[in-house]
Amino acid sequence: MSEPVGTWEERWHPLREEWVIIAAHRQNRPWSGETIAHSEEKEPEYVEDCYLCPRNSRVSGKSNPDYDSVFVFDNDHPCVGSNAPLNLAKPAGIYKNRAADGIARVVCYSPKHNLTLAELEQREVENLLTTWQRQYTDLAARPEINHVLVFENKGEAVGVSNPHPHCQIYATNFVFKTIETEARASARHFSETGRYLFQDIISAEQTDGRRIIAENETAIAFLPYFARYAYEVYVAPKRTHPSLAALSDREVADFSEVLQATLIRFDNLWQMPFPYVMPLHQAPTDGGNYEAFHFHIEFHPPLRKPNLLKYLAGPEIGGGNFLSDTSPEEKALELQMQSPIHYKHKT
Ligand SMILES: [Zn+2]
Ligand SMILES: [Zn+2]
């Protein structure tokens, strides 16, 4: 028997403080799982029954304005809201509950139904980043809000049936678990070493160099050493800022350039709109000290191949740690080899 080739090891995830099993020697095993079909039909710019298109009415009865750039509104079906029921039945024994207080919003990136974030012009991406900055600052100022989670779910593979480009904001009275973990890890690293954890991650990525997807003077995108998903990519400013709101105009411009370069490579990979879950990881707004928290965007794409989902099963759902059967170095190389021009824009 010869030694298995490829990557077969456990890698430490410093932000989540957990091990990721990389077993890339399993990559080519035969597969007979579910496939995802993606339609080639061209969507129109405006769709009459889309609740996000300009001028259309939503379930609440409200109508969208005739907006021409970014449009933000309060979610008509919020999972957290200031009018959540207060008179809750007390549960049995040690169980406890409380009102689902908070604010949920929707942010439309563009009036055009058939665009994606990857296809927006750079000034439009910058405008969106400015909107996200304003939303964070506005929501963070409210005493009942302890965290602002901005995220985009994109594609049917993650359960989104409406392709109109948009993201959501959940401003909550609690701090989401991953953010809490990252904040704790970053604070501990800072007190132990005097250095910022995320800057040490960037520096390790730069030293290795094999997993960098895009980079300019103040921003960087990389597929981390400890990636849990095949095409997981982090986009970050190089300086440590607790939130996007703290970036200078110059840093926002650089950040949007690197973000766009990443999105275009994703779409070009399989010449299709690339599905993902994209959270912005920003510091909690609960009044704590988060000077060591380093704002970044994470992409968690669910697909391993064009028609192949990464299933969360025994290790992930059963045990809570990820098993990746792809090599981060190989997947980064696939993205690096893509054209910087979006496939839909090629003549
Ligand atoms: Zn629409
Ligand atoms: Zn993160």
Q: How confident is the model at residue 59 (pLDDT cuts 50, 70, 90)?
A: confident
- Contact between 231 and 306 under an 8 Å Cβ cutoff? The reply is no
pLDDT tens-digit profile of 65-87? Answer: 999 999 999 999 899 998 899 99
Mean pLDDT of 165-172: 98
Catalytic position from the list 13, 113, 147, 166:
166
pLDDT tens-digit profile of 298-308? Answer: 999 999 988 88
CA pair distance 304, 316, nearest whole angstrom: 16
Place of tokens 């091990």: 19
Could you tell me which of 22, 4, 3 has the C-alpha nearest to residue 12?
22
Examine the pLDDT at 226 and tell me if it is beyond 90. Answer: yes
pLDDT tens-digit profile of 229-271? Answer: 999 999 999 999 999 999 999 999 999 999 999 999 999 999 9
Active site residue 166: yes
Q: How far is the CA of 46 from the centre of ligand 1 (A)?
A: 6
From the CA of 280, the nearest ligand is: 2
From the CA of 71, the nearest ligand is: 1
CA pair distance 45, 268, nearest whole angstrom: 21
Place of tokens 């704790």: 184
- Contact between 151 and 160 under an 8 Å Cβ cutoff? The reply is no
Could you tell me which of 12, 10, 7 has the C-alpha nearest to residue 24?
7
Q: How far is the CA of 301 from the centre of ligand 2 (A)?
A: 14
Examine the pLDDT at 343 and tell me if it is beyond 70. Answer: yes
| pLDDT score at 40 | 60
From the CA of 224, the nearest ligand is: 2
Q: Which pTM does this prediction carry?
A: 0.94
Q: What is the CA radius of gyration of the chain?
A: 21
